[in-house]
Every structure is written in structure tokens, then in C-alpha cells.
Amino acid sequence: MYFNVTNLGTIIMKFEKSSDNLILTLRVYITDKPGFLGKLLTSIGSMGGNIGDVKLVKRAGRNNLREVEIYVSDQEHIEQILRSVGEIDGIQIDTISDAVLDLHKGGKIQMSSKITIADASEVRRIYTPGVAQVCRAIQNDPSAFYEYTYVQNCVAIVTNGTAVLGLGNIGARAGMPVMEGKSVLLHQLVGLSGVPILIESTDIDTIVDTIVNISSSFGAIKLEDFAAPDCFEIERRLIERLEMPIMHDDQHGTAVVTLAALMNATKYTGDLLKNMVVGIIGLGAAGTGIASLLKSYGVKQMLGFDLSENAMKRLEALGGEPSDLKGVMSRANVVVATTGVPGLIRPDMIRPRQIILALSNPNPEIHPEDAIDAGAAFAADGRGVNNALAFPGLFKGALNVTAKKFTSRMKIAAATTIASFANSDRQELVPALMNPDVHEAVTKSVERAAFESGAVRYHEETD
């Protein structure tokens, strides 16, 4: 939101006192003479502001209106910078805004037409009476539905907002910006349409029935930010009732990228992942999804710890061994932590040659450098283990072959492909998110795995 600046104190109060790690856009009128822009930037820098883009907005008489992007740490930091800039002669603050909120104004996505209508004859073809021909074609051959509508390229991104990012149960509407972000990634990375669906309920029956009743409008269902343990039951029931690709991304997208990271970590240390003892600390949606996929991959011995007794029972049902924190750290060769508890793993818990993935964001269970100093062979945090490396290609591949479901083989194929694109010279765990070759390759590998595992509609199931 922009604020007209007449009093710096008023502006400062517009930002919540809890705000931190903000990206601000500062608009200022600067006297159009040498040295004044330099004074502005020097003032910001002297107050510890990290300067991003500087743009000329317009020339206004003897002044230039410029936008300066500034990274600040907290409320006090904002105040210091604004007061410093406000004291400079020849520079007048116009407006200040939160650059992230500005970017989201009006939302990040829209429904748009692929066809441009130039005259009435085209209206008759895309609408009445011509469209009746297409309706009859689908009525006579239901499979034509996928050929003559956008459904085969459309994913429902469904949430009730009970487990949003690191924010927790903030509700479906507050979670909408995350769903829009997923839509943007699907479109940009693999050309799919992602449609956010908000469900204002925590009742499992209501959620499942709602999704089932709208499922014909979509080619696949992406469950997002549903809290554990409900997420497991919701996904299970939907898979039973619907013959289409359905995936809870917090479980399986995260698991795929974690498996890719472990493939590379063990390669760099010269170990074989399948023969190692793997420990999972935190058995919520992500931890349970990781445990499940590692078992499918062939990991023979897996330990796990969670404060929830039901979570431990889920691990046991997957073939894992319940333990405690001390037991996991003392026995596991590979430790994956998804607890959301910063500093949970102390350096004195680390054993020589352990591989540690502390995946909680923004603050990991242990910082990688601390784990290495304590004797770990390899350590990383969750900054690069982004499920956006997995879900675009998984959904694109499944939709391209009209898959009935996601199989373990499809997920492992995606993980193997992601791992293959990491730069081994730099000991990368996973490749860069915005590399289009990665998503194209994941799509193709998922297509092949869908056929091989019998997930395509006209193939017998083998998985």
C-alpha cells in the first residue's frame, strides 16, 4: 500500500511493528543536479539499507521522480532510513510502500482466452450455434472431453488453509496468495493452468465430497496446505473415489525433492542410500511423505521420531521403526529433519560421517556449517530443497498421458531426473528451480514411468 508522505512519523506507524525482512519501494523527488542521487543512496547505505533497483519514473521540472528498492530488517530500521533521507536538502519523499504487497495487488493470476474474437462469425463458431457440435462429440465419446476442453491442462489447487507455509492454520482466504503462487509456477514452468479452490471447512467428509463434486472440471487435483493428520485421510479417500492424478504436495512434492537431494548427498560421500540407516525427525505431512517414498525407493532400515503417538504408528505401518531423538541421532547414517523447531539438533548430537538435511524454513534444526564442524560428512538446509522442482513436471507428465493416478515409480523417476541435473562439481544437491530443461525432463520421465507402472488409463496396473 502506498502512503502519501506529509509526516515521517505517520508513515512509520503505517507499518506493523511486527514487520521484519521487508522489501520497501521508496519514491522520492530528487533535484536534477549532479550529486543528489548519490546523497540519497549514500544516506540509505549509511543506515544499513541494502539497495536493489533504482528506477527513473518521470522527470518533473527541476526534479526527477525515482523509485528505490530497499531491503530492511525491521520496524526500527525503516524509521532510521526514513529520518536520514528526510534530512537531506533537495530530496523529498513522495511515497513508501511494501514492494511484496504491491506485487500481489489484484492477485497474481487471471483466466484468459486462447482465442481472439474478431467478428460475429467467430462468435458463432466458439459459442452458439457451432459449439453444439463439440458438445455432441463429447456426449458421444466421453474421451473427447480431454481433447476439446482445457481440462487436460488444468489442475485444481485445493486448500482449507490449515497448514500454510510456516504460518500454520491461518484459514483458506489468507492462504490464497500461496495458491496463486503455485498457479504462477505451474503456468510458467510447464504451461499448465492452476485454479485455486478454497474450501471453508475442516470436516473431512465435507472436504472430500466438495472435491469429488467439482473434480470433472479439472484434469488433476493438487492438495495444498492441509494439516496432518487430516491430509492423509483426505488424500486416501480421494484416490479411492476418483480416477485421476491426485497428490498432496506437502507430502509427495517435498519427498521427491528430498529423495533427489539424498541421491546426490550419498553420491558425494560415496555411500549407497538403500543400504544406509535413515532417520526422520518430525513425522507430519512432509516427514511421512519422505518416509513413504524412501521405503518405495528401497531404503531397508528407517527410524523415526515425532511427539505424536499416531505419527509414530503411521511410520510403523510404513515399515519404519519408532525411536526417540537420541536414538535417531545415535543410529542413523542419514538424518532428515522436518520439525519446524530451530536448533533442535545440537552439534554434540552429530556423529562422524553423518549426512544431515535440516529442512525446516526459515530456521533449520541445525545450521549446515555447525553440523559440518561437528563431524558431519555432508549437511544442508531447506533453502534449496523446494518442492516446486517436482510438482510442475509431475502434474504435466501425468496429464500428458491421462494418468489415472500417481505411482511411486513416477515419483522416483522425477527424483532421479532432478538429481541428474545438479552440478556435481559444486556438490549441488538439486538444480536451480528456474532451469526449464529440468521441468521438461521431469515431465518426460514421469510420462515414461506412468506407462511402465500401468498408471495410464488403457494399461494394466503393475504398481
Provide the Cα torsion 333, 334, 340, 346; round to 10°.
40
Task: Provide the grid cell at 14.
Answer: 503505517
- The span from the CA of 274 to the CA of 287, in Å, is 18
Q: Does an H or E element contain 416, and which?
A: helix 408-420
The DSSP code for 343 is T
The beta-strand segments (E) located in 208-273 are 220-223, 246-248
Question: CA 396, 400, 403 angle in degrees (round to 5)?
Answer: 95
Task: Provide the grid cell at 173.
Answer: 482466504
Bridge pairing between strands 355-358 and 378-381 = parallel
7 phi and psi angles, rounded to 5 deg: -150, 120
Task: Provide the grid cell at 385.
Answer: 530443497
Over the range 148-187, which residues count as b (16 or more CB within 10 Å of their CB) and which as e?
Answer: eeebbbbbbbbbbbbbbeeeeeeebeebbbbbbbbbebbb
Characterise 21 by phi-psi region: left (phi > 0), alpha (psi -120 to 50), beta (else).
Answer: left
State which amino acid sits at residue 138. Answer: I
Q: Does an H or E element contain 103, and which?
A: helix 99-103
Kindly write down the DSSP assignment for every residue of 13-80, as one continuous string.
Answer: HHS-TT-EEEEEEEEEEEESSTTHHHHHHHHHHHTTPEEEEEEEEEEETTEEEEEEEEEEEEHHHHHH
- The CA distances from residue 375 to 54, 334, 352, 371, in Å, are 44, 13, 5, 7
Active site residue ranges: 127, 182
Bridge pairing between strands 91-98 and 63-74 = unpaired
Q: Is the dihedral of CA 148, 149, 150, 154 positive or negative?
A: negative
